[in-house]
Amino acid sequence: MDWALIVTAIVVIVAIGFDFTNGFHDAANAIATSVGTRALAPATALALAAVFNFIGAFIGYWTGSGVAKTIQSVTTPPSGYAGLALVAAALGGAIGWNLVTWRLGLPSSSTHALIGGVVGAALVAGTIVEWGTVWEKVIIPMVTSPFVGLILAFLVMRLIVVIFRNKNPQKVGGGFRHAQSVSACAMAMGHGMQDAQKTMGVIFLLLISMGYASASDEMPVWIVFACAGAISIGTAVGGKRIMKTLGRRIIDLDPARGFSAESVSATVLYVTALGLDAPVSTTQVITGGILGAGVEKRVSSVRWGVGVNILWAWGLTLPAAAALAALVYLIIKLVSAL
């Protein structure tokens, strides 16, 4: 019996489980604004998000899997079971933090939970962390992307206000409700391009450490299917807790502001995934877009207390997931040594 293959398969299943939690945790990213403005019914929005998540995952694969390669380059895991333990611990830390923030209804970043998990496990395992990659591809985009989303959504919303200032408000609102169906799908596709690739990169890292693949190999298609399917199913299952936070608690959205936030956020996701190979957080980008669209109306329209709670979740995600992953790694090491 090939125990190495069996254990590898188990960790791959755990990784796909993380992808599933990513789906239900981040389902709200793409559709909260459309549901909050009543442009789409929740069931319809979830179904559309699931389909376009799947499509986006394959677009990311067909365009070179740049985000997946960035995840792979964060660390070079040791070969054999030590590398397997590192990947398993990273996934454990990311899943644990996803579940905590999902339970609290906080839209934290699954992206940074996974990267924090990899970094935390690597540090405890004594493996080199490529801090240059973490800084350039993770930290800088993490800090800048929500502000880019905020500024662009503000400008787009201001342009919309100028263009439609003298138009019939009911007709304009109805038109933007239809437009939100398109922008929500675009946002969901960007989420698939970004987040499904991250799990693909971790699974491929596992295969390299166990000797089933080399770093120069192409991403196996079965990994793409598995990750795309898992994130799509997870999206279809849920996200109502976080949907409420994004769609209604930050600001009271109207269709035009929802369209502005979604369209800008989708653009940021496409640019970072296809042009920069940067694994940015869809959660942070859409939150920035929502804040920007709300600020255009007036600063007081934003419930800043909710925004502060979200900022806390963002700031804690990397270190919290890293700490959880480090703990899981130590437990795995202790148990395997018995």
Give per-residue pLDDT as tens, 22-31.
787 666 666 7
**pLDDT score for 305:** 61
For 244-269, b/e burial (b = at least 16 CB within 10 A) is ebbbbbbbebbbbbbbbbbbbbbbbb
In whole angstroms, give the CA distance from residue 154 to residue 160: 10
Residue-level pLDDT at 280: 87
Cα 311 to Cα 44, 82, 304: the distances in Å are 30, 35, 10
- Residue 218: count other Cβ atoms within 10 Å of its Cβ: 9
Instruction: Report the distance separating Cα 87 and Cα 239, nearest Å.
Output: 26
- Distance, CA of 261 to CA of 277 (rounded, Å): 22
Q: What is the DSSP letter of 134?
A: I
Spatial contact of 219 and 68, defined as CB atoms under 8 Å apart: yes
Residues of the chain with pLDDT under 50: 245-250, 338
The rounded distance, in Å, linking the Cα atoms of 24 and 236 is 7
pLDDT at 27: 62
* AA letter at 157: M
Bridge partner list, 208: none
CA separation, residue 240 to residues 35, 49, 148, 247, 290 (Å) = 10, 13, 26, 10, 17
* Amino acid residing at 235: T
Contact between 65 and 200 (Cβ < 8 Å): yes
Q: How far is CA 259 from CA 28, 35, 253, in A?
A: 15, 12, 10
277: left (phi > 0), else alpha (psi -120 to 50), else beta?
A: left
| Helix, strand, coil % in the chain, rounded to nearest 5 | 80, 0, 15
What is the pTM for the complete model shown?
Answer: 0.86
The predicted structure's pLDDT at residue 247: 45
Establish how many alpha carbons lie within 13 A of residue 281's alpha carbon, considering only the half-sphere containing its beta carbon.
34
Q: What pLDDT, on a 0 to 100 scale, did the predictor assign at position 128?
A: 87
- Give residue 195's pLDDT: 84
What DSSP state is assigned to residue 298?
Answer: -
Q: Nearest-CA neighbor of 228 among 29, 70, 16? A: 16
Q: Where are the domains of the chain?
A: 3-337
